[in-house]
């Protein structure tokens, strides 16, 4: 009886596995249940993606139209374009959309504070705070996104430098090495590869390598890339070995990363002091001294009452 149960279970599991494998195979007939299983196994993400992209484009169009209401000087527009490029937004509508967010968000927050009756306790302060917070929120979001993208690019530099050294030592020129590195690191580090592709496109359309590399450092705003660009420019100017310079710069970059990690590790003790003083120490005092205080109160209570 025992072996019969095992045999029946084994055959049932084997038949289920074979049926599922046949249903997911390309040679299976177009049966409704087969199509449903395939959709469950490979959900159609194109519809959701297209809907999401349409909603983003619609929101960006609305914000761009609203952004035309807010006047801005050419200097402010240039600064916003630079910040949006560092955040990864290079379309011309991005600047107008950011200005539109500074118009729409304060109006939404003020309206929310007004219709929820939160402003009744202090109307001037609450409504003014809502307007200022709505105006400054896009700037804070943009700054946070820029820092996050710069950190991502900064972490991808060691792989970039290692592969660039290999390509240069293999005999490729600097332009061809940059193109090859951007192709190889497309999946692992897409942000850095986008910047490299843009610099390679600028070089192909006739811009000099010096200008393209300088624009790369200004566009990203990462100090490590600026130092790398300065090193490449000095190497090209004085005619020294590019591979040797890249190897030395890679070692210096690793030393700086190690020193930065040691600095962050040394700061942890100082950052733990507020949590230790305000949260951990009171709980320890309550646990340690609480029973003693209760016992002392019970012992001295009758004496003090007399």
Q: Tally Cβ neighbours within 10 Å of residue 119.
A: 19
Q: Give the SS3 label for residue 205.
A: coil
CA 1 to CA 7: how far, in whole Å?
A: 10
CA 166 to CA 164: how far, in whole Å?
A: 5
Q: What is the pLDDT of residue 47?
A: 44
The pTM (predicted TM-score) of the whole model is: 0.69
Digit-by-digit pLDDT tens for the chain (306 residues) are 666 767 767 677 777 767 666 655 555 455 555 565 555 555 554 444 566 777 777 777 777 777 777 666 777 778 888 888 888 888 777 888 888 888 888 888 888 888 888 878 788 888 888 888 888 888 899 999 999 999 999 888 888 888 888 898 888 888 888 889 988 888 888 899 999 998 888 888 888 888 888 888 888 888 888 888 888 888 878 888 888 888 888 888 888 888 888 988 888 888 888 888 888 888 888 888 888 888 877 877 777 666
* Measured CA distances, 27 to 14, 23, 31, 36, 291 (Å): 20, 8, 12, 16, 75
Here the tokens at position 21 are 């494998």
Q: Give the SS3 label for residue 91.
A: coil
> Do 86 and 219 meet the contact criterion of CB atoms below 8 Å apart?
yes
């Amino acid at each position: 009886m025992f072996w019969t149960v095992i045999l029946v279970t084994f055959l049932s599991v084997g038949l289920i596995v074979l049926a599922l494998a046949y249903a997911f195979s390309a040679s299976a007939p177009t049966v409704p249940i087969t199509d449903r299983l395939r959709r469950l196994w490979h959900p159609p993400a194109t519809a959701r993606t297209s809907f999401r992209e349409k909603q983003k484009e619609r929101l960006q169009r609305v914000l761009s139209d609203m952004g035309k209401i807010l006047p801005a000087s050419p200097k402010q527009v240039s600064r916003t374009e630079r910040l949006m490029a560092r955040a990864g937004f290079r379309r011309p509508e991005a600047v107008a959309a950011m200005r539109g967010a500074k118009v729409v968000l304060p109006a939404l927050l003020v309206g929310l504070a007004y219709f929820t009756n939160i402003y009744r306790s202090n109307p001037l302060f609450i409504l003014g705070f809502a307007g200022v917070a709505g105006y400054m929120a896009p700037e804070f979001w943009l700054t946070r996104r820029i820092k996050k993208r710069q950190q991502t690019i900064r972490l991808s530099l060691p792989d970039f430098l290692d592969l660039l050294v290999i390509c240069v030592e293999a005999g490729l020129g600097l332009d061809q090495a940059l193109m090859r590195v951007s192709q190889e690191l497309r999946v692992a580090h897409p942000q850095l590869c986008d910047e490299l592709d843009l610099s390679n496109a600028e070089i192909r359309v006739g811009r000099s390598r010096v200008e393209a590399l300088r624009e790369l450092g200004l566009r990203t705003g990462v100090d490590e890339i600026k130092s790398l660009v300065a090193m490449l420019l000095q190497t090209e100017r004085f005619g020294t070995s590019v591979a040797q310079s890249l190897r030395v710069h890679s070692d210096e970059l690793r030393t700086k990363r190690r020193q930065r990690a040691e600095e962050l590790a040394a700061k942890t003790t100082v950052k733990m002091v507020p949590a230790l003083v305000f949260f951990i120490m009171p709980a320890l005092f309550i646990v340690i001294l609480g029973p003693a205080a209760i016992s002392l109160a019970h012992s001295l209570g009758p004496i003090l009452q007399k």
